[in-house]
Structure 1
Amino acid sequence: MKWDSRGGQPPALLHQALPSLSVTEWALAAGYDGVVVDLQHGEVGLEAGCTMLRAAPRDSAYTYARVGGLDPAPILRLLDSGARGIIAPTIESGEQARMLVEATKYPGVGNRSLGPSRPNLYPGQPYTEAGNRAVSTIAQIETVAGVENAESIITTPGLDSIYIGPADLAVSYGLPGRGDWADGPVRDAIVHLSKVTRAHGVTLGIYSGSSAYAADLLDRELVDYVGLGIDLIFLSRAAQDSIKTLRGAK
């Protein structure tokens, strides 16, 4: 899968934990290449998630949704509402990856039902093949078991990308649940996953709350794209900074 981001730069996506169309619009206007509407964590339910997806243009290649599991019903609704990628958490086996492909791809590759709720969602003929090209099937690896079974996950036919959840991965190694690791087993896992994905033509992404850390991973060509920050955390930090400045000024 080839990236087509603004200015030729690797894509950066904002995680959205708040059910707001405005956040989606502001993120894209600010220069983010896309968003991850997060139905796994945060306050976004299925109805709100489907509505939020409509705040992005139909041809936005990086309008993703992260689901809470492999249930095909919500995945179908999100795709029909315009999600261009589905991230499924805690994928630990090739069988789970196959189930994800089944839910996200039309027959010929998967078992997705045909019934889009947005017009002209996938331009091209035939429609189902255009849809399969347009939708990214993304397995999130965030446990030791996922790393150990990476080869069978990554080689699943129809899988497009791997997304690393570094904080949960750290916890699975018995480490503190933080995201940006410069060394240790989490860093080793990033390097390993980078090698395996490149060997099989699958892209690799990672979440980070630090622009500097994310830029370093991209510069080293360890990953192809990043999820950069969460709207709720940005709001929290801005509020904290504002009140600290106010109190400190007295």
Structure 2
Amino acid sequence: MKASALGGPRPVLFHQALPSFSESEWAAAAGYDGVILDLQHGELGLETACMILRSLPRAGAYSYARVGSIDAGPILRLLDSGARGIIAPTVESREQTEALVAATKYLPVGNRSIGPSRPGLYIGDSYPDAGNLAVSTIAQIETRIGLERAEEIVSTPGLDSIYIGPADLAASYGLPAWGDWEDGPVRDAIVHLRELTTAHGVTLGIYSGQPAYTAALFADGLVDYAGLGIDLVLLNRSFQDTISALGSARSIGSDS
């Protein structure tokens, strides 16, 4: 997410790990601002992700994809299909960040190949310049090593945003692998990354599983956007809540 996109309500996106064309529509109808197609975890493959991107509104500023690695081939396919942001996981060095920028940006910023597969994907006098403005290059920091090298990552030319993976970050400190930390090293990392991203003019996002936690981060000005929930977890909660609400009623008369 680019700093130029800020100014209104902080965007909220959801992670989609299942190969469904309906989920992003239902999420948008519920009020989500966009989607992160998650190719790192779950069942979503490259071909389906590209088709889902083509089904989304072309002007959707927050049609993002999280890739499994910094591999220029899949990244190019996703961008040509309409992804407006690429999140690369487990970034731990400036070298990796530079490779991400090279894969996501056209010359002179990066080295992305020009081969538009959708008409009018980027509107502007210069197609490369318009594409570079439209696409957000996002490095995910989710390890202790990545955090220790955060300034060299954040200061990489062409980088637009940092995305925090709190569960993996916690695990790298020997803590339980969950998110929504109120204190400890993960909370300290959020504050530290907020300071660094502000100083270098890039945005900061985070994955969260709870709306109240996300709202508190927004209120404290610690993040600019959030990934709130992933379909696998949201479905699990819904299933559990539904069966729990039914309770013991289904056992009535079972012994007769």
TM-score of Structure 1 vs Structure 2, range by shorter chain: over 0.9
Contact 1:89-1:141 at 8 Å conserved across structures: yes
Give the TM-score, by structure 2 length.
0.95
Q: CA deviation at 1:245?
A: 1.5
The C-alpha deviation readout for 1:167-215, integer Å capped at 9, x for no partner, is: 0000000000010101001100110000000001000000000000011
In the other structure, the counterpart of 2:5 is 3
Q: Secondary structure at the match of 1:194?
A: helix
Alignment of 1:155-194 (within 5 A): 155-194=155-194
Q: Judge which range, 49-58 or 239-248, deviates more.
A: 239-248
In the other structure, the counterpart of 1:59 is 59
Q: Judge which range, 232-241 or 173-182, deviates more.
A: 232-241
Q: Judge which range, 22-31 or 198-207, deviates more.
A: 22-31
Unaligned 5+ residue runs, structure 2? Answer: 251-256
Q: Secondary structure at the match of 1:74?
A: helix
The aligned length equals 248
Aligned structure 1 segments of 4 or more residues deviating by more than 4 angstroms: none
Alignment of 1:147-158 (within 5 A): 147-158=147-158
Q: CA deviation at 1:4?
A: 5.6
The C-alpha deviation readout for 1:57-111, integer Å capped at 9, x for no partner, is: 1111100000000110000000000000000000001110000000000011000
Alpha-carbon distance in 1 for matches of 2:218, 2:193: 14
In the other structure, the counterpart of 1:197 is 197
In the other structure, the counterpart of 1:137 is 137
Q: Judge which range, 193-202 or 109-118, deviates more.
A: 109-118
Contact 1:24-1:55 at 8 Å conserved across structures: no
In the other structure, the counterpart of 2:23 is 23
**CA 1:200–1:71 in structure 2 vs 1: closer, same or farther (change >3 Å)?**
same
Alignment of 1:57-136 (within 5 A): 57-136=57-136
Alpha-carbon distance in 1 for matches of 2:126, 2:39: 31
Q: Secondary structure at the match of 1:139?
A: strand
Quick one: which amino acid aligns to residue 199 of structure 1?
A
Alpha-carbon distance in 2 for matches of 1:91, 1:58: 28
Alpha-carbon distance in 1 for matches of 2:4, 2:248: 49
RMSD: 1.0
Quick one: which amino acid aligns to residue 187 of structure 1?
R
Quick one: which amino acid aligns to residue 37 of structure 1?
L
Larger Rg: 2
Quick one: which amino acid aligns to residue 4 of structure 2?
K
Identical pairs, percent = 68
Alpha-carbon distance in 2 for matches of 1:184, 1:99: 32
Give the TM-score, by structure 1 length.
0.97
Q: Secondary structure at the match of 1:54?
A: helix
